[in-house]
């Protein structure tokens, strides 16, 4: 069968990237909007610890999806994906008018609406890892890398939106005659938190529309290669069974019982190591490092913090672009890249522990080092995640399902590991705006 036109393939890759964008955009958007909402919510700056707990509870979404697969094995993959997308759109759409509503709980005011909707969005985002990834097992491996590029956009686009909003802009007044500094002047945001959440809702609607468009395009797309004759058929080519990207009437022919030897690669030590790399990298990028980003960057100034956030978020899709052209297939090389990322992560952790007076504070070299470390650290880990997932793609749907579980388990372990030192024992200390806390 002739290969599909180039324009069709480009459109399909774009739709897959937009589909992946909706996976974690909601929770990422809430994180970057925290500096705005904490000013009006009664929890104040204890809200990030609440958010960490809610994201950890969101892992119950994995159990819900697993239960769905057990009770309705013949319903296919589209129903849970649509449910996740509908929950994400509904949650962010309700956040826009309700995020500031406060209700009394045990005699104390709490942002019940904000916290409840955040929990619903956490359930949806956590479930996306084990619903979106298995769906892509029907497409060739390059589409998986486009999906991870979209996941990178789910962090980058909310971040860019927050920067356009003007989050965290302040001005330090000149020192008085006795050398003391007055209180900082905070500039108002260019648009409200409600407008931000409406914009976030629009991104999620675009992602859901991309998924529906991908289904309409599916008859013209190639199948994932199976290694046998006709392994490069189009999805719309004549075949005995149902179309892989269309809703099957039954999935009685379970992928795990396939005679394809690649379907059993999960039993190998090689696949176990790849899943281990996914677990470790996601524990660091989704749990450990985000918890210390402000502590490691803010001592060097708000410019360093914003540069680290924006360029670090941009490193994810750039790593996906790199993986499209140069995919590392050596397990030893991937492990080496992971160790290099751990080295930069250890440097950032040391800066956070030494906050608010880390080395090279108030110097240009310190700013450059912290920003470059964040970019390289997140870029290396993103490349390892994409490469490991691409190598697991050969195992079909079970392998990608295992990859989704490894990603979510790693994220949970990282969040749990950082909850006690950040929220209970206060290991990390932040500075104060316009106050030099490092004077001898």
Long-range contacts of 255-262 (CB under 8 A, 24+ apart): 255/137, 255/396, 255/397, 255/398, 256/398, 258/396, 260/226, 260/227, 260/228, 260/396, 262/226, 262/227, 262/394, 262/395, 262/396
Q: Examine the pLDDT at 235 and tell me if it is beyond 80.
A: no
Q: Examine the pLDDT at 36 and tell me if it is beyond 50.
A: yes
Q: Of 356, 340, 380, give the one whose Cα is nearest residue 305.
A: 356
Q: Of 382, 360, 357, 214, give the one whose Cα is nearest residue 282.
A: 382
Q: Examine the pLDDT at 385 and tell me if it is beyond 90.
A: yes
Over range 53-76, report the average pLDDT. 80
Rounded CA-CA distance 30/42 in Å is 16
Q: How many CA atoms lie within 13 A of 15 on its CB side?
A: 20
H helices of 184-268, where? 193-217
H helices of 288-440, where? 289-297, 302-325, 331-354, 364-392, 396-419
pLDDT tens string 348-369: 999 999 988 899 988 999 999 9
pLDDT at 419: 79
Structural domains of the chain, ranges and CATH numbers in brackets = 1-219 (1.20.1250.20), 266-439 (no CATH)
Give 109's strand partners: 104
Rounded CA-CA distance 225/125 in Å is 29
Provide Rg for the chain, Cα atoms.
23
Determine contact, residues 141/390, Cβ cutoff 8 Å: yes
Q: Examine the pLDDT at 412 and tell me if it is beyond 80.
A: yes
């Amino acid at each position: 069968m002739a290969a599909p036109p180039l324009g069709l393939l480009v459109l399909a890759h774009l739709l897959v990237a937009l589909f992946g964008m909706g996976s974690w955009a909601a929770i990422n958007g809430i994180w970057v909007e925290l500096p705005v909402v904490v000013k009006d919510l009664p929890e104040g700056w204890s809200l990030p610890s609440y958010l960490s707990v809610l994201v950890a509870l969101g892992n119950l979404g994995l159990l819900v999806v697993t239960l769905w697969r057990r009770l309705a094995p013949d319903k296919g993959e589209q129903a849970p994906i649509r449910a996740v997308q509908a929950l994400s759109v509904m949650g962010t759409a309700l956040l826009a008018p309700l995020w500031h509503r406060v209700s009394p709980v045990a005699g104390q005011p709490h942002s019940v609406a904000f916290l409840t909707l955040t929990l619903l969005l956490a359930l949806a985002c956590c479930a996306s890892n084990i619903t979106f990834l298995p769906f892509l097992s029907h497409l060739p491996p390059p589409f998986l890398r486009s999906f991870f590029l979209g996941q990178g956009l789910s962090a980058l686009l909310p971040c860019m939106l927050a920067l356009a909003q003007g989050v965290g802009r302040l001005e330090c007044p000149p020192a008085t005659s006795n050398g003391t500094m007055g209180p900082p002047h905070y500039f108002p945001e260019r648009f409200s938190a409600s407008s931000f959440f409406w914009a976030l809702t629009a991104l999620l609607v675009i992602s859901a529309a991309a998924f529906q468009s991908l289904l309409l395009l599916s008859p013209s797309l190639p199948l994932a290669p199976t290694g046998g004759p006709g392994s490069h058929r189009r999805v719309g080519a004549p075949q005995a069974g149902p179309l892989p990207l269309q809703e099957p009437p039954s999935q009685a022919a379970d992928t795990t019982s396939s005679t394809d030897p690649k379907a059993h690669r999960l039993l190998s030590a090689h696949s176990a190591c790849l899943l281990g790399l996914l677990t470790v990298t996601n524990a660091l990028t989704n749990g450990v490092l985000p918890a210390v980003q402000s502590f490691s960057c803010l001592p060097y100034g708000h410019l360093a913090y914003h540069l680290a956030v924006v360029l670090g978020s941009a490193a994810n899709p750039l790593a996906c672009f790199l993986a499209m052209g140069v995919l590392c297939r050596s397990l030893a090389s991937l492990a080496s890249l992971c160790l290099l990322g751990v080295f930069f992560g250890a440097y950032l952790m040391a800066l956070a522990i030494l906050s608010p007076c880390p080395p090279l504070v108030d110097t240009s070299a310190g700013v450059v080092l912290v920003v470059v470390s964040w970019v390289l650290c997140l870029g290396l880990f993103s490349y390892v995640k994409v490469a490991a997932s691409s190598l697991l793609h050969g195992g079909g749907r079970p392998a990608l399902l295992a990859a989704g579980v490894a990603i979510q388990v790693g994220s949970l372990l990282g969040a749990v590991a950082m909850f006690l030192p950040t929220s209970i024992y206060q290991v990390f200390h932040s500075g104060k705006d316009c106050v030099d806390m490092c004077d001898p």
